[in-house]
Each structure stands twice: as C-alpha cells, then as structure tokens.
Structure 1
Amino acid sequence: MKTIAMIPARYAATRFPAKLMQQLGNKTVIRHTYDNTVATGLFDEVMVVTDSDIIYNEIVQHGGKAKMSIRQHESGSDRIAEAVADMEVDIVVNVQGDEPFVKAAPLKKLLDVFAGEDGQNVQVASLMQVLTHAASIADPNYVKVAVDLNMNSLMFSRSPIPYHRDQNLTPVYYEHIGVYAFRKQALLNFTNWAMTPLEAAEKIECLRYLEHGIPLKMVVVDYMGVEIDTPEDLEKAARLL
C-alpha cells in the first residue's frame, strides 16, 4: 500500500500573509513542516503542493519535493486532489503547511485505521483531541466533532456539540484537528462534488463527506503542536522550539 504525504501551501493567507515563509529558528515555517514530515519515516513520498513560486523554490532549493498547482483552488483538499490525480497511490495524508511541529506518533495512529479487514471500509480518517477549557469549547475558531461509539464522525460544528443540557453529566468535547488521510478515490470524489449546505453554513469542508453519507474515522491524539495563524502563534511556536 503506497502512502504519501501532501502539504498544501498557499502564500496569501488572509489572517497572516506569507506566514509559511516566516522564519522560525533557523528555517521557515514550511520547511519545518516538510522536514519534520519526512523525518517521521512513515511515507513513501512527501511533497509540498503550492500556488507560489516563492514557496516552491524554498522547498526545492533545499533538496525537497514540490509541485505547482495548475488551477486556483478553494481548499487544500482540492489542491492535493489535482496533484495526485495521475499518481499511483493508495493513501494520501494531508499535512497542514502551517503546523511545523509534525510528529510521527499521531500520524501513525491515523494510518493504522486503514489496516486490516476493518480498515478496508475506511475511506477518510482524521485527528481530534479532547477539549477541556470552556472558552475553547465555546470558541467558533475551534471546530468540534461528535462521534459514535465506533469513533465515526456524526457531526462537525463551530458550535459546542453536544449541547450540555443535563448538568449532572459531563460530556466529552473533541476538537477536530485538520490533518486528514484519504483513499485516493474518496479524495477525487470530494473534489467532484459541489459544496453542500452544511459545509457552506459552517465553512467546514469535511462536512461535504458527511452530507454524502461518508463518515470520517476519528482518531484521538494528544496533540501539542502550534498552528501558525497569527504573529502571536509564531511567537508561541518560537518559544516552543
């Protein structure tokens, strides 16, 4: 089973323009992400997919692999689907370019759900972590996910789910981490479907899978990374580094 990691990398981020080219220690953010993904040793190939000559050159000039997108894309999934359409590959992992502290353990847990007889039925998988702070649970920037007893996604929302009506119970809240693993055909199908109503309302692209009857197999991890969305996140990442 051939497994590759694709890192979608857009230069013109809305909240923090050129964030992937910001210096973090002795490397740019995107190079940290690429190098740490390669270092996991989990993938037959790792590649950055970008719309930017600057990011492309940053990777290839330091010995990495990168590919330029041909068309404009609304999402990282669309960008990756274009890149893998003609590749011989079974499992595609989407590693976010703005998460430089990539580690092997959570990615291995993600890939493991495709193994064995049960894994044959998994089309898409993703990561989540337990949310414990009330402010984060209420924050719409934290995407929450509700799962069934087999850890298949039931719903993704920016609202707190489940709603905490019975104060005698303590529900578990999960934050969705935007690292995905797809079977190639599931990813190609995604890009051929139009945006769905819940996806449009919530601005959460994986809802498109649910609205087409495809659950995501969710994997619980202890995720201690930093997503670079703002200059403050970059400062936090520098301290962690």
Structure 2
Amino acid sequence: MKITAIIPARYASTRFPGKALADIMGKPMVQHVYERTARAGLVSEVIVATDDERVAEAVRGFGGRVEMTSAAHETGTDRLAEVAARIDADIVVNVQGDEPLIEPAMIDEAIAPLAADASIRMGTLKSRIKSLHDFLSPNVVKVVTDREGYALYFSRSPLPNFRDKWNDLKDEAFVTGRLLCHKHVGLYVYRRDFLLGFARMTPTPLELAEKLEQLRVLENGFRIRVVETSFESIGVDTPNDLDKVIEKLSSH
C-alpha cells in the first residue's frame, strides 16, 4: 500500500506573507514540516504542493520533492487533489504546511484506521479541549463523534452545547473536565479516489455557513473516522505564532 503525504504550501498568505519560507532555527518552515512528515512510519513519500517558484526552489534546495500547482485554487484541498490526480498512491495525507511542530506519530495515528479497514474513505484527528477560551472561540473548530469514532458534526460554536449547564460553560473546570469536549486537528487522510471525488463535489450549505470543507463530506452522506490524539502542535498564522514555535524548539 502506497501512502503519500502532500503538504500544500502557499507563499501568498494573507496574515503572514511568505510564512512557508519563514526561518526557524536556520531552516524554512516548510522544511521542518517536510522532515517531520517523512519520519512518520506509515508514510511512503512526501510531496510539497505549491504555486510559487520561491517555495519550490527552497524545497529542491533541501532535497525534497515538489509539485507545481495552479494559482487559481481556492482551498488547500483543491491543490491537494490536483497533485493526487497525477500520482500513484492508495492513500493521500493532507499535512498542513504551517505546522512545523507536527509529531510524526500524529500522522500515523490518522492513517492507521484507513490502512486497516478498506471501507474507511477519510480520516482526521481530534484532541481534548484544555481551555475555556478554545471551547468558546470560533477560531477553534469543535467536533463530536458517534460511539464508533465517526464524526457527527464539526462546528465553530461550542459543541456540544450543554443545555442545562449554560452557566457552567463559563467555568474552566467544567469545560476542560468534560470528556465530550474535543477540538478538531486539521490533518486529513483520504483514499485517493475519494479525495478526487470530494474535490468535484459542489460546496454544501453547512460547509458555506461554517466555512468548514469537511462538512461537505458529511452533507453528502459519507463518514469521517476521527482518532483522538494526545499530541499537541502549533499552527503558524502570524509572526507571533512563529515566535512561540521558535521558543518551544529552543527549549528542547
């Protein structure tokens, strides 16, 4: 079984232009993501997908594989699908290009269900919510699952909403102590054919309302396997986030 990890990496980030090439202890951020992804035991190969020659040149510079894509893509999934259509792979992993601290074990955790069960088309990760801020923040996506570990819904709103405990939602201990409170970790695993079909699906009402692509899968009647991880990562959206990453790496 061939499992290919693809890292979509844009240069023209709105909040942090050029972040894919931001220097982190002597290496561009995309190199940190690439090297950590390559250490995942279940990954056969790693590819960076970009529409910018500056990113491509940097990847070639450290010996990585890069595929150029259209600059017209509106989402990372579209960029991923363009590359997936060209390659020979059974399973495709979407690793975010702004996660320089991603743990290789997280990638393996997300892949494992699809590697073991041919009926699973798509998978992702969740982790326990550890702060009231995250539970209430629309920038932190929440997820609830069924008893078999499949997603029921993803939302930017508090999820679940404890109807009879509304006042308790202002209590940090109440929220962080709930076994039901999880945030979505944006790492996706797809069977290649399903990814190509997903990219062709028309955006759906809930997807457009929440601005969450994965809802398109649920609204079309497909299931997403969600694995809980204990690992934490830091996404880099701003220069301040970059400082946090450098601080964490420096302390190890």
Q: Does 1:192 align with 2:200?
A: yes
Give the alignment partner of residue 234 of structure 2, picking from 220, 226, 232. 226
Counterpart in the other structure of 2:248:
240
Counterpart in the other structure of 1:165:
163
Partner Cα distance (1:19, 1:219) in 2: 29
Contact 2:128-2:179 at 8 Å conserved across structures: no
Partner Cα distance (1:15, 1:163) in 2: 31
Post-superposition offset of 1:86: 2.8
Counterpart in the other structure of 1:22:
22
Gaps of at least 5 residues in structure 2 are 169-173
Counterpart in the other structure of 1:11:
11
Counterpart in the other structure of 2:171:
none
Post-superposition offset of 1:132: 2.5
Partner Cα distance (1:230, 1:175) in 2: 20
Give the alignment partner of residue 125 of structure 1, picking from 98, 108, 123. 123
Aligned positions of 1:1-241 closer than 5 A:
1-116=1-116, 119-167=117-165, 170=178, 172-241=180-249
| TM superposition score normalised by structure 2 | 0.91
Post-superposition offset of 1:223: 2.5
Partner Cα distance (2:62, 2:206) in 1: 41
Contact 1:164-1:171 at 8 Å conserved across structures: no
Contact 2:37-2:107 at 8 Å conserved across structures: no
Partner Cα distance (2:231, 2:237) in 1: 17
Show CA shifts across 1:94-152 (max 9, x none).
00000011222111111110133xx1211000011010211110000000011111110
The CA RMSD over aligned residues, in Å, is 1.4
Partner Cα distance (1:15, 1:215) in 2: 32
Gaps of at least 5 residues in structure 1 are none
Partner Cα distance (1:212, 1:134) in 2: 32
Partner Cα distance (2:62, 2:115) in 1: 34
Partner Cα distance (1:142, 1:82) in 2: 28
Question: Residue 105 of structure 2 aligns to a residue in which SS?
Answer: helix
Post-superposition offset of 1:39: 2.5
Question: Residue 115 of structure 1 aligns to a residue in which SS?
Answer: helix
Show CA shifts across 1:188-231 (max 9, x none).
01111111111111111111101101121001001221100111
Partner Cα distance (2:228, 2:74) in 1: 28
Q: Which amino acid aligns with 2:239?
A: P
Post-superposition offset of 1:84: 1.3
Contact 1:42-1:104 at 8 Å conserved across structures: no
Show CA shifts across 1:34-87 (max 9, x none).
111112343211000001110000001221100100351111111011111132
Partner Cα distance (1:210, 1:223) in 2: 26
Sequence identity of aligned pairs in percent?
Answer: 39
For these two proteins, the number of residue pairs brought into alignment is: 239
Contact 1:7-1:49 at 8 Å conserved across structures: yes
Partner Cα distance (2:41, 2:58) in 1: 22
Contact 2:16-2:238 at 8 Å conserved across structures: yes
Partner Cα distance (1:79, 1:226) in 2: 22
Question: Residue 159 of structure 1 aligns to a residue in which SS?
Answer: coil
Contact 1:190-1:209 at 8 Å conserved across structures: yes
